[in-house]
């Protein structure tokens, strides 16, 4: 009997221990939940950009958001302060980047207004015009790429380079060049792909698509075509052939590029006989006329630097900005520490005196926001003044293949 009582006691103790263990152990559901990693929160949806949003900004912010300033990377603190104070469209980084470039660019982008991060651009064509080869590797010149690579290889090379640029914080490349090759007497030389507009379009658009594959906004330059200009527009008042001649040659790559969404165009300080007495960058006939209306370019339009000699010799920076805005440019680029406050004040006074320019300012801001990842709201597409259909053009046809993607 004593033996049975001992066995019973042992069983009771065992049952108690088991029960205690079960009570202290996590349930199967809890164990399973603990073993699973918590799903990452979904990123917030991208908020589209609307006319109402832009027009709710003070006018000084609207026109300030159309100004881009070129600054040496080692002086990036100035860039950060200017972006924070004026809400600039962006910064063009000059000079060779150092090991802290990504940190400097992150500070510039963080200084932007909520929902409007600044563009961070660089001249990165390849060959003799590239600032980032120490940081992300060298790219051959357009002339070398056009002679040694296929368009598919050019696109892959550009995509790889763009990913390196994006990792540093850059968002825009002022390239590729689509000027036609015509010797080296006007600053272009091996920056051009070919003297043939069809070949130029094929390779340059492959490069541009590669940049977009890697998250970089490409900007074709130098409209309306620098290849046959009489000199280098950085230094002198260079003149192109007549507008009728350009329509048969130099304008064709820009026309072809305008069929690709997401591509910008830079307008050069070139005199165009038969078009206007003003240089193309300041000419409504060139920008709103030929580029927007005739070629139907729907993306960003950026001036070449309005601090360059052919412009500043004739116009102080505030007046150059006024003319560039009236011509139809979206981004007004300056270098050499411009008086940004004076430029913005002049633009505010201009739009106040000529309220018909407000629609153009709104459209420019929407295009700039689109370039930083905030597409225009579907209900406000009409504000971009885009034609419903493309009318016939006077330019001859070219045979440019449309790569997939």
- 369 sits in the region (left: phi over 0; alpha: psi -120 to 50; else beta) called alpha
Query: For residue 268, which phi and psi values (nearest 5 degrees)?
Result: -95, 165
- 169 sits in the region (left: phi over 0; alpha: psi -120 to 50; else beta) called left
Beta strands, E only, 95-181: 119-122, 124-126, 129-130, 172-173
Could you please report the per-residue DSSP string of 51-83? HHHHHHS-HHHHHHTTEEEEEEGGGHHHHHHHH
* H-helix or E-strand spanning residue 222: strand 217-223
Choosing from 304, 330, 370, 380, the catalytic residue is: 304
Burial zone of 319 (CB within 10 Å; 0-12 exposed, 13-18 middle, 19+ buried): middle
Choosing from 131, 234, 296, 314, the catalytic residue is: 234
Classify 136 as helix, strand or coil: helix
Cα–Cα distance measured from residue 395 to residue 39, given in angstroms and rounded to the nearest whole number: 54
Task: Answer yes or no: 234 catalytic.
Answer: yes
Q: Which residues are catalytic?
A: 234, 304
């Amino acid at each position: 009997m004593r033996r049975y009582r001992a066995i019973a006691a042992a069983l009771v103790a065992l049952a108690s221990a088991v029960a205690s263990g079960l009570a202290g152990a996590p349930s199967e559901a809890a164990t399973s939940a603990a073993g699973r990693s918590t799903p990452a929160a979904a990123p917030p949806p991208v908020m589209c950009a609307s006319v109402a949003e832009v027009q709710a900004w003070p006018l000084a912010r609207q026109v300030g958001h159309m100004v881009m300033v070129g600054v040496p990377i080692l002086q990036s603190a100035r860039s950060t302060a200017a972006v924070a104070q004026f809400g600039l469209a962006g910064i063009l980084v000059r000079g060779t980047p150092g090991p802290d470039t990504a940190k400097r660019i992150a500070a510039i982008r963080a200084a932007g207004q909520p929902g409007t991060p600044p563009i961070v651009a660089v001249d990165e064509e390849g060959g003799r015009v590239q600032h980032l080869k120490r940081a992300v590797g060298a790219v051959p010149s357009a002339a070398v790429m056009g002679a040694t690579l296929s368009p598919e290889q050019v696109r892959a090379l550009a995509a790889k380079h763009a990913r390196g640029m994006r990792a540093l914080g850059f968002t825009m490349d002022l390239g590729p060049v689509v000027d036609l090759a015509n010797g080296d007497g006007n600053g272009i030389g091996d920056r051009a792909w070919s003297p043939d507009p069809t070949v130029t379009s094929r390779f340059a658009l492959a490069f541009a698509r590669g940049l977009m594959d890697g998250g970089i906004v490409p900007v074709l330059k130098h409209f309306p075509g620098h290849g046959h200009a009489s000199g280098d527009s950085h230094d002198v008042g260079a003149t192109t052939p007549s507008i009728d001649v350009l329509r048969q040659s130099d304008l064709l790559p820009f026309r072809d590029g305008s069929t690709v969404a997401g591509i910008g165009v830079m307008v050069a300080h070139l005199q165009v006989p038969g078009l206007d007495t003003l240089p193309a960058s300041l000419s409504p006939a060139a920008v709103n006329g030929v580029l927007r209306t005739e070629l139907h370019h729907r993306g960003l339009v950026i001036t070449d630097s309005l601090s360059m000699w052919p412009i500043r010799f004739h116009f102080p920076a505030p007046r150059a900005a006024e003319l560039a805005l009236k011509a139809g440019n979206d981004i007004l680029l300056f270098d050499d520490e411009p008086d940004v406050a004076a430029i913005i004040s002049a633009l505010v006074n201009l739009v106040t005196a000529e309220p018909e320019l407000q629609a153009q300012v709104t459209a420019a801001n929407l295009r700039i926001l689109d370039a930083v990842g905030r597409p225009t709201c579907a209900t406000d597409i009409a504000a971009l003044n885009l034609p419903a259909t493309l009318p016939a053009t006077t330019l001859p046809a070219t045979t440019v293949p449309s790569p997939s993607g």
